[in-house]
Amino acid sequence: MSESRLRFLGTGDSEAMRFWNTNLMLEAGERRLLIDCGYTIKYALRDADLAVPDIEAILITHTHADHAYGLERFGIETRYRYGTRVRLYAEPDVLPALWHETLKGSMGYSSDGENRLEDFFDVVPVENHAFEFAGHRLRTFPTLHTGGMATYGVEIDDRVIFTADSKPLPWIAEDRTQRAILHDCSLQADNPVHATLDELIAFYPPEVRKRMFAIHYGDELEAHRAIIERELGGVAEQGASLAL
């Protein structure tokens, strides 16, 4: 476990150009699991001196482009260039939309004819909201994001809570562990589907906010850095990592 870490490959929101999509990587020695796989994932891996073949598995929290569109590149390249299939974890209610509403348009047909998601990935539905990877336990939980869409965050061991995309969550406000919290933090004044910085400050008590790090932010980060560092634990910096 001493070699394990959670790396912040990307920390930006869907509009960011200074930051890659918010994609994390659980790294345990030479074993690597991506948590989300947005459309900028190859650039993020390049910056970490990694590439598609270095990834063993992927967990998708929901089907928005900045969290899932990188799967098109992963699926095509692993199948046709490397002759492999990456293990793909997702909650059962995420999987149908992931293929039929997100990926099938570009991956549904190829030189081999009609395809399924399983032709590109070793698909593993998450059972009972939990699974293990490289000695680490991951537990998924529903988030408050886009109505009608299955959306999840993930807890890693007893060390980290990652909300992925979400408005503030009441159970996190009551959490009294010492876990680090990587929380969706929109820097807009108002956002109907992402927690804003003002909402984080108003919703969560100070003892929770001191363990909270802003992630999924926009290019205007520096204009808000001082208040983030005063009111929260800080900023989840792109390229940084947490030891697990």
Kindly report, residue by residue over 130-159, the tens digit of the pLDDT.
999 999 999 999 999 999 999 999 999 989
Q: Region 15-21: what's the mean pLDDT? A: 97
The whole-model pTM stands at 0.97
Q: Which of 192, 203, 127 is nearest to 166 (CA)?
A: 192
What is the pLDDT at residue 2?
A: 53
CATH topology for 4-243?
Metallo-beta-lactamase; Chain A (3.60.15)
Q: Region 126-130: what's the mean pLDDT? A: 98
**CA 186 – CA 188 distance, rounded (Å):** 5
Report the amino acid identity of residue 193: V
**CA 83 – CA 79 distance, rounded (Å):** 5
180, 158 contact by CB (below 8 A): no
Q: Which residue has the tokens 């590149």?
A: 73
**CA 41 – CA 68 distance, rounded (Å):** 10
pLDDT at 1 over 90: no
**CA 215 – CA 197 distance, rounded (Å):** 11
What is the pLDDT at residue 3?
A: 86
Q: What would the pLDDT profile of 19-71 be if each residue is shown by its tens digit?
A: 999 999 999 999 999 999 999 999 999 999 999 999 999 999 999 999 999 99
Q: What would the pLDDT profile of 75-125 be if each residue is shown by its tens digit?
A: 999 999 999 999 999 999 999 999 999 999 999 999 999 999 999 999 999
Break the chain into its structural domains and give their ranges.
Answer: 4-243
